[in-house]
Structure 1
């Protein structure tokens, strides 16, 4: 740590400490997934019981179990003193903080440039604004992997792609950054081969562990889900619920709140095709820019952000931790093209703040469809659409070099 990096490190670590502590005091159990599902899943796997993704189908890719098991191992020395659940919560927060610190150190180094300093301050601010949900979810594990992988794409594309591929086998969204790299980079064949090789290696290991029957269950398990209350497409139904024309119900099968009303099954069914179409259109638009000579630094950041935003906007699930997905593309945008990153970064910061106001701070009132939280959620979801439009517009504006 140097004089130039000391303020960055101090702010970053204090932000993690404060965010971790707020998880213990905020309402609506922002740490609920960690203690109610991650800890039991890891305990079961370590004691000879069900191994999610291996012996049973799972909503997550199989590598998501690794950080859960690691947190369980880290918590064991403290179980006698504070109990299994508290020890696991502390271990999880420490694990995420350590991974974030490694990525943060890689980002800023000893003498960070102005773009990297800006990226570091943005990451710190986004973490604070988003609150405990930024730490106490499996998505938090993928953020540092995505940041380091994205930073390595130009100089060490094989290593960067493998890290992003590992991230995608923990939570699918880092695959969007792999796709963006394949489109925007000149060495796209090398990146594509690295992603394919990494995926093949993971699949072989999973087969050897006995996961053949449930290898891609994380894809099929999502098909039967309803429309989650925080999803963008659920917003009109929340206003309808206030008028008595729809309602909010709890699904004991997938442990989440969903909207119920006329046309909900249809909307839920069409969202996945819409997602695939949106991703395809964005990819095609960027591919044209790349084919005409658009530079990686100008094309990759908005493409990565647009693809990630599309996964959120068109998703039947609307979990608050999805906002963590936006942090990595924005950090990379600052590094590769700081001037044009400021506007989207402001939008992402507001999205993080609004998300924390919704969950966990006013979540109970949202489930009662009270006016203020429904209005907050509406504003957040509208801004998600705006962010998607901004990202696509930035792709369109990528300059094409003049041929002579």
Structure 2
């Protein structure tokens, strides 16, 4: 394995940033006053994990563990259904070497395994995996959104809370400055790959003044309209959360695929309303879409298909043509408009199909095999 895999900005994050965090964490402290540290404390375990392979360099060990997580996801999906495994193994390479140089495969693994545990009626196992995943990067908690009402949901959510609390307690006792990430997360602005960022880039093409600056470890817009658009993103995320809760309350029809479909829909909605839509977010979406395709009852097949071109365009935008995206050239703007339009279309289609499937149980229409109604 070569240390120069992906020479340039993509691999630099592991070589420099992750390795620097590793040195700090190895001394018993989370990064302090570091604007680039914006992750829940469970992420520290991932950045420390290359110590398990001391005979390799930090980068080599990180990539090796990423490949191990990838293999675990692939095996689990293959056992659940070949179509899902094909989407994962065929979709991930569209991101080039980004999956090997970010820690999102390691985050996606517990989310995928949590959903498959729900399928096998192991709610406590699902809860533990979702809780641990949420402590690494928050969004795996959404895998429990679609658990059927009743004892299964209570067991899953209770286990998730207990496992997250236990891990947090261990980290608080073992490290200093465990919650310092909260200060940095609150200060983030509007990143250039977001929907709001695309709107500003388009405004720049019409002659309006726009400025990009490197802040909080990413390129963000600064200047007029930025604060308003960032607040609008947060409001849309809150609205998405309220809609998901409303869906949960009204839904009466569950199939074996409902937990999978709800998880994909939720993560898609929070992705498109985010102030940041980095290419590695597609790793999450591919993993969840792959789980959806393991069930013949899923409503999300067209959504999964939309994610494939969005994934390919994400790697074109970064790293292949990132200079164009950064400069806001017509080509860079076109890439981001099409990529974000695909993601927005996927999110809206996902929500519509999830809602329609839940409402089918209210109007008396025939349920497909494997469906059941709860009250």
Output the TM-score relative to the length of structure 2: 0.88
Superposition CA RMSD, Å: 2.7
Label 1:298 to 1:108 Cα distance change in 2 as closer, same or farther (>3 A). closer
Q: Report the counterpart of residue 25 of structure 2 in structure 1.
A: 45
Q: In the alignment, is the contact (CA less than 8 A) between 2:69 and 2:105 conserved in 1?
A: no
Gaps of 5+ in 2: 365-372
1:169 is paired with a residue whose SS is helix
Q: Report the counterpart of residue 271 of structure 1 in structure 2.
A: 233
Of 322, 332, 335, 1:363 maps to 322
Name the CA distance, whole Å, in 2 between partners of 1:239 and 1:90: 40
Q: In the alignment, is the contact (CA less than 8 A) between 1:184 and 1:286 conserved in 2?
A: no
Label 1:22 to 1:131 Cα distance change in 2 as closer, same or farther (>3 A). farther
Shift of 1:186: 6.3
Counterparts of 1:71-90 in structure 2, within 5 Å, are 71-74=50-53, 76-78=54-56, 87-90=57-60
Q: Report the counterpart of residue 78 of structure 2 in structure 1.
A: 108
Q: In the alignment, is the contact (CA less than 8 A) between 2:292 and 2:298 conserved in 1?
A: no
Q: Is residue 2:308 matched to residue 1:349? A: yes
Q: Report the counterpart of residue 118 of structure 1 in structure 2.
A: 83
Gaps of 5+ in 1: 1-16, 79-86
Q: In the alignment, is the contact (CA less than 8 A) between 1:242 and 1:369 conserved in 2?
A: yes
Q: Is residue 2:69 matched to residue 1:99? A: yes
Q: Report the counterpart of residue 186 of structure 2 in structure 1.
A: 223
Label 1:164 to 1:363 Cα distance change in 2 as closer, same or farther (>3 A). same
2:220 is paired with a residue whose SS is strand
Shift of 1:162: 0.7
Instruction: Please state which structure has a larger fraction of its residues in helix.
Output: 1
Name the CA distance, whole Å, in 2 between partners of 1:342 and 1:23: 34
2:146 is paired with a residue whose SS is helix
Shift of 1:77: 2.0
Q: Is residue 2:168 matched to residue 1:203? A: yes
Q: In the alignment, is the contact (CA less than 8 A) between 1:249 and 1:260 conserved in 2?
A: yes
Q: Is residue 2:265 matched to residue 1:300? A: no
Counterparts of 1:4-403 in structure 2, within 5 Å, are 23-24=5-6, 28-46=8-26, 48=27, 50-52=29-31, 58-74=37-53, 76-78=54-56, 87-109=57-79, 116-154=81-119, 155-181=121-147, 187-211=152-176, 214-215=178-179, 217-252=180-215, 254-289=216-251, 292=252, 294-337=253-296, 340-398=299-357, 399-400=360-361, 402=364
Name the CA distance, whole Å, in 2 between partners of 1:246 and 1:186: 56
Q: In the alignment, is the contact (CA less than 8 A) between 1:286 and 1:303 conserved in 2?
A: no
Label 1:273 to 1:400 Cα distance change in 2 as closer, same or farther (>3 A). same
Name the CA distance, whole Å, in 2 between partners of 1:49 and 1:394: 47
Name the CA distance, whole Å, in 1 between partners of 2:151 and 2:291: 18
Q: In the alignment, is the contact (CA less than 8 A) between 1:157 and 1:190 conserved in 2?
A: yes
Output the TM-score relative to the length of structure 1: 0.82
Name the CA distance, whole Å, in 2 between partners of 1:258 and 1:140: 25
Name the CA distance, whole Å, in 1 between partners of 2:35 and 2:173: 15
Q: In the alignment, is the contact (CA less than 8 A) between 2:310 and 2:343 conserved in 1?
A: yes
Aligned residues: 361
